[in-house]
């Protein structure tokens, strides 16, 4: 069993807190992604799970065993780095088989497992080729093969597609997920690219400034972000925020904004007087002449099947994703309505979502 459990994990470098008391569990066989901007602590967390960094405090369990202070060589994991780090003087076969050679496996076993791994990755026709002449995608497959051939309890990957161009990256995202499904191994994957995370992950931990802001399935994180940071970081364009000052009472199902009442999912908590933000995804906005919430069209960006229309309102700029055939022109005044069941409400001072009947606060460490 390759469940990975992290409890109150913390890492400091002098006065700088790189990872702040993170806790989460990666289920056996999950494709788990740590997502966040540069410097958020995701790679440091991965390196602690791998044994390449020791935590300042907290605990790490791999398959139920406490491995917090074990060396990397004492943990049954394989690490795939952003830079492929292949041995240029060895061919593909020798690179893939090198980990097995290091632990003294018989030649016949090495040959069999290397060929099995190469077939899995569809590079069996390259086994006798020099790695220095391979394309970037094939070099990445060789690096993956060197990790897979050991059959470890878990794979740890630190932005392994970061050096590939967009076409190869999209292809490798699909192949990595298919590969994961075939070998059914626990995978921990670090990236700053939300598209990679949303397309591959079973579960995502969104990190910011050393903290896990939200932990959950991709759809859950997209639909019900736990914080304003998550709402802005996930989605392209990100969630809109319409700020207003007021108070809301438990059980309330609407807020007043300009000359209209915006219907909300029923609130589960009181919120005293303060600055609030209504969160709405661009695809959940409609143009509605009957709405009292009005704004002036600033620009429209056509994207083929749809368009992103930016509207200036009294609460700030709002981006709406509309059908490409929706007629709209700069300077036009439009009314805006929202899909009530898809709205979020945030406390601006804390940045956290206010609980509603459709949102219970998320799971976060």
Distance CA 281, CA 66 (A): 42
- Whole-model pTM: value is 0.86
DSSP states along 151-202: --SEEEEESTTTTS-HHHHHHHHHHHHHHHHHHT-EEEEEES-HHHHHHH-S
Check: CB of residue 10 under 8 Å from CB of residue 57: yes
Beta bridge partners of 306: 323
- 243 in Cβ contact with 260 (< 8 Å): no
Q: What are the angstrom distances between the C-alpha of 354 and each of 150, 247, 345, 361?
A: 47, 12, 6, 7
Q: How do the pLDDT tens digits run along the chain, 365 residues long?
A: 589 999 999 999 999 999 999 999 999 999 999 999 999 999 999 999 999 999 999 999 999 999 999 999 889 898 887 766 788 899 999 999 998 998 899 999 999 999 988 988 888 999 999 998 888 778 888 988 888 888 888 999 998 887 677 777 787 788 888 888 888 889 999 999 999 999 999 999 999 999 999 999 999 999 999 999 999 999 999 999 998 888 888 877 777 776 677 877 777 777 788 898 999 999 999 999 888 889 999 999 999 889 999 999 988 899 999 999 988 999 999 999 998 888 999 999 999 998 765 554 443 33
Closest CA to 264 of 349, 336, 317, 339: 339
Structure confidence at residue 240 (pLDDT): 96
Q: For the chain, what is the radius of gyration of the CA atoms?
A: 24
pLDDT of residue 311: 96
**Can you give the pLDDT at residue 312?**
94
Establish whether domains 4-223 and 229-347 are of one fold: no
Alpha helices in 201-345, H assignment, sequence order = 218-223, 228-233
pLDDT for res 358:
56
- Helices 136-148 and 107-121, axial angle in degrees (round to 10): 130
CA 227 to chain centre: 15
Query: Could you tell me which of 83, 9, 12, 87 has the C-alpha nearest to residue 49?
Result: 9
The domains of the chain are located at 4-223, 229-347
Hey, what long-range contacts does 133-136 have (CB within 8 A, 24 or more apart)?
Answer: 134/92, 135/168, 136/163, 136/164, 136/165, 136/168
Q: What pLDDT is attached to residue 1?
A: 56
Q: By the 8 A CB rule, do 141 and 121 touch?
A: yes
* Helix, strand and coil percent figures for the chain, each rounded to 5: 25, 35, 35
- Longest alpha-carbon distance in the chain: 78
Class of domain 229-347: mainly beta
In three-state secondary structure terms, 92 is helix
- 4-223 homologous superfamily: P-loop containing nucleotide triphosphate hydrolases (3.40.50.300)
The pLDDT value recorded for residue 21 is 92
> What is the C-alpha separation between 9 and 365, in angstroms, rounded?
10
What pLDDT, on the 0 to 100 scale, is given for residue 48?
A: 97
Signed CA dihedral, 211, 268, 279, 286: sign only: positive
Tokens of 235: 């989605």
Please, are residues 218 and 62 in contact by the beta-carbon 8 Å criterion?
Answer: no
pLDDT (0 to 100) of residue 298: 95
């Amino acid at each position: 069993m390759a469940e990975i459990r992290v409890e109150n994990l913390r890492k400091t470098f002098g006065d700088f807190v790189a990872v702040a008391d993170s806790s989460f569990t990666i289920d056996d066989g999950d494709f788990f992604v740590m997502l966040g901007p540069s410097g958020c602590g995701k790679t440091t967390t991965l390196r602690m799970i791998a044994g390449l960094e020791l935590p300042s405090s907290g605990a790490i369990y791999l398959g139920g065993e406490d491995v917090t202070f074990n060396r990397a060589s004492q943990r049954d994991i394989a690490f795939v780095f952003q830079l492929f780090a292949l041995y240029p003087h060895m061919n593909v076969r020798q690179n893939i088989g090198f980990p097995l050679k290091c632990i003294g496996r018989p030649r016949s076993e090495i040959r069999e497992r290397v060929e099995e791994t190469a077939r899995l990755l569809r590079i069996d026709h390259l086994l006798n080729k020099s790695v220095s002449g391979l394309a970037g995608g094939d070099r990445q497959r060789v690096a993956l093969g060197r990790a897979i051939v050991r059959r470890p309890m878990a794979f740890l990957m630190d932005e392994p597609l970061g050096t590939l161009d967009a076409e190869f990256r999209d292809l490798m995202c699909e192949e990595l997920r298919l590969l994961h499904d075939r070998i059914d191994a626990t995978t921990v994957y670090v990236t700053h690219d939300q598209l990679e995370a949303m397309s591959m992950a079973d579960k995502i931990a969104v990190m910011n400034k050393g903290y896990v802001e939200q932990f959950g399935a991709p759809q859950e994180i997209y639909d019900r972000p736990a914080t304003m940071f998550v709402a802005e970081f996930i989605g392209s364009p990100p969630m809109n925020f319409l700020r207003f000052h007021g108070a809301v009472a438990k059980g309330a199902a609407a807020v007043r904004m300009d000359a209209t009442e915006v219907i909300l999912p029923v609130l589960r908590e009181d919120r005293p007087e303060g600055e609030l933000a209504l969160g709405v995804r661009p695809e959940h906005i409609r143009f509605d002449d009957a709405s009292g919430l009005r704004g002036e069209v600033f620009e429209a960006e056509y994207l083929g099947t749809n368009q992103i229309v930016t509207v200036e309102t009294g609460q700030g700029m709002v981006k709406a994703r509309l059908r490409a055939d929706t007629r709209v022109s700069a300077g036009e005044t439009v009314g805006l309505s929202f899909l009530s069941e898809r709205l979020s409400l945030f406390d601006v001072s804390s940045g956290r979502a206010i609980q509603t009947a459709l949102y219970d606060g998320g799971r976060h460490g």
